[in-house]
Amino acid sequence: MNNILYLGIDIQFARLNDTDHKRGLTFLSQYDLPYTDLNTYDGLIISTHIDEYFMAEHDDQLQAYLNNGGVIFSLAEKGMDWLQQVPDWKRSPLSLKDREVHIKKTDHGFLENIQPKHLEYRKGVRGFFSRGYFETVPKAAEVLITDQNNDVIMYVDRASTNGTIYAGAGTDLYRIYADEDNSANQAGLQMLKAIRKEAALIKGRVKS
């Protein structure tokens, strides 16, 4: 089992703790991306705390990783020309206090047994999960989460490259629910397991 990279700007909200390290996560300052061999990792999580200008400058590295069978889980509010397979993030017209989370499908155990209402609220406040959506998604994408307008919040795309792209419309599903006392606290661990299962399938280490 290889580690999974968690990419972001080196600020407090992006830093990892001992539990993350024990789960096999390695923090990658995005400015160290050009000096990192992504192919030695099982996956790359792109957090919400990024410099999009820098990501656009180094998109060729992401594309090469995907073409080599890599797994990327993007959580960013993408609005520039990088990771072109993922559409730009759009702000939802729905009020945060009214927006609902609808889980449409699980994937390698990701989102299994998680109650939507536990994603809608954090510490009793609604609106932390995602404030946006994708207006269009790749034709072969499998939609995992929508809102009540059926606008796509999260999907997985196994067709656009030789690898796999999980994309969320601006939500750090790994970190924000870690301390919740409900089913949402399993989301981060499920995410890591799904990435590893996907990486193993692509590399032929296990059968589907």
pLDDT score, position 180: 86
In total, how many domains does the chain have? Answer: 1
> Rounded distance, CA 133 to CA 100, Å?
12
pLDDT score, position 206: 54
Closest CA to 173 of 158, 182, 184, 157: 184
> Rounded distance, CA 128 to CA 205, Å?
36
Residue count of the chain: 208
Token pair in block for residue 146: 């929508």
Would 146 be classed as within a structural domain?
Answer: yes
Would 94 be classed as within a structural domain?
Answer: yes
Domain range spanning residue 141?
4-202
Would 18 be classed as within a structural domain?
Answer: yes
Give buried/exposed letters for 76-91 (b at 16+ CB in 10 A, else e).
bbbeeebbebbbebbe
pTM of the complete model: 0.93
On the CB side of 201, CA atoms within 13 Å amount to: 15
Token pair in block for residue 22: 């024990």
Q: Where are the beta strands (DSSP E) in 131-182?
A: 132-134, 142-146, 152-157, 164-168
Contact 99, 127 (CB under 8 A): yes
Would 208 be classed as within a structural domain?
Answer: no
Would 11 be classed as within a structural domain?
Answer: yes
Closest CA to 172 of 33, 10, 57, 13: 13
Question: Domain with 21 in it: what CATH number?
Answer: 3.40.50.880
Q: Count other Cβ atoms within 10 Å, centred on residue 59.
A: 15
State mean pLDDT over 142-165.
Answer: 96
Contact 14, 47 (CB under 8 A): yes
With tokens 């991306």, the residue in question is 33
pLDDT score, position 12: 56
Q: Is 64 helix (H, G, I), strand (E, B) or coil?
A: helix
State mean pLDDT over 52-75.
Answer: 97
Token pair in block for residue 68: 């080599």
More confident residue, 121 or 61: 61
Would 207 be classed as within a structural domain?
Answer: no
pLDDT score, position 40: 96
Would 118 be classed as within a structural domain?
Answer: yes
